[in-house]
Chains A and B, each alone.
Chain A
Amino acid sequence: GQQLNQSPQSMFIQEGEDVSMNCTSSSIFNTWLWYKQDPGEGPVLLIALYKAGELTSNGRLTAQFGITRKDSFLNISASIPSDVGIYFCAGQIQGAQKLVFGQGTRLTINP
């Protein structure tokens, strides 16, 4: 089935560092979404992107919808301990009703 390639799979950083992760696909996407999952919880939507080239921020988080519509990235600036978790990208393929999810990026922060 359709897959998104999300990288990196895991990150180990120091508190205060900036973080960058991305997702790529072989298909064109209408929508890119970024979710965060805390341990034992369901994913929570962080940012939604609807237009190629769109750059959207949510506090210390910034995400961009790639110009080719086949990729997206998420940046987290000045990381803090509560940023720990798994981050997922998700996208809706043009003409489809289903969302496709990346494999996730597990973020660990050393204080």
Chain B
Amino acid sequence: NAGVTQTPKFQVLKTGQSMTLQCAQDMNHEYMSWYRQDPGMGLRLIHYSVGAGITDQGEVPNGYNVSRSTTEDFPLRLLSAAPSQTSVYFCASRPGGTDTQYFGPGTRLTVL
């Protein structure tokens, strides 16, 4: 049982490049979320999903897309990276009906 896994752990992009941050969980959790963490800002919700095929916007969704084709996977796409997207990105999952959220180890993204 690996929990929540994220790849890559580190990434450097140039402005305008696109990429996908991968997130997977093997706990059969219904809820999955993406957060970004910036100094002094805590964790801000980007997008979340309450089940396969269902996604919704969080607090800071602009510049990011998500999809949830399976229960296990919840990739985050940056279509055209901008320096303002330099951050640490965390994926999280939790079972339906509970608030116990499990976080992945994070992806540190730098956009030059």
Residue of B nearest to A33 (CB): B99
Chain B residue with the shortest CB-CB distance to A97: B50
B59 touching A31, Cβ below 8 Å? no
Instruction: Tell me the smallest distance from the CB of B11 to a CB of chain A, in Å.
Output: 15
By beta carbon, the residue of chain A nearest B40 is: A103
Which of the residues B4, B40, B48, B100 comes within 8 Å of A98, measured between beta carbons?
B48
Asked if A42 and B90 make an inter-chain contact with CB atoms under 8 angstroms apart, the answer reads yes
Interface residue range, chain A: 20 to 34
- Complex CA gap A40/B33 in Å reads 19
Do A99 and B101 touch across chains, with their CB atoms under 8 A apart?
A: yes
The range of chain B's interface size is 20 to 34
- Shortest CB distance A18–B (Å): 24
Judged by a CB distance under 8 angstroms, whether A1 is at the interface is yes
In the assembled complex, the CB of B87 is this many whole angstroms from the nearest CB of chain A, namely 14
A43 to B90, CA, bound (A): 9
A42-B90, A42-B104, A42-B106 in contact; A99/B99 too (CB < 8 A)? Answer: yes
Task: Please measure, in the bound complex, the distance between the C-alpha atom of A9 and the C-alpha atom of B39, giving whole angstroms.
Answer: 11
B42 contacts A103, CB within 8 Å? yes
Q: A88-B42, A101-B43, A103-B42 are in contact. Are A43 and B48 (CB under 8 A)?
A: no
Give CA–CA (A102, B41) in the complex, Å: 8
Give the residue of B31, B35, B42, B106 whose beta carbon is less than 8 angstroms from that of A6: B42
| Other contacts beyond A9-B40, A90-B101: 9, CB < 8 A | A4-B42, A40-B105, A42-B4, A42-B90, A42-B92, A42-B104, A42-B105, A99-B45, A99-B101
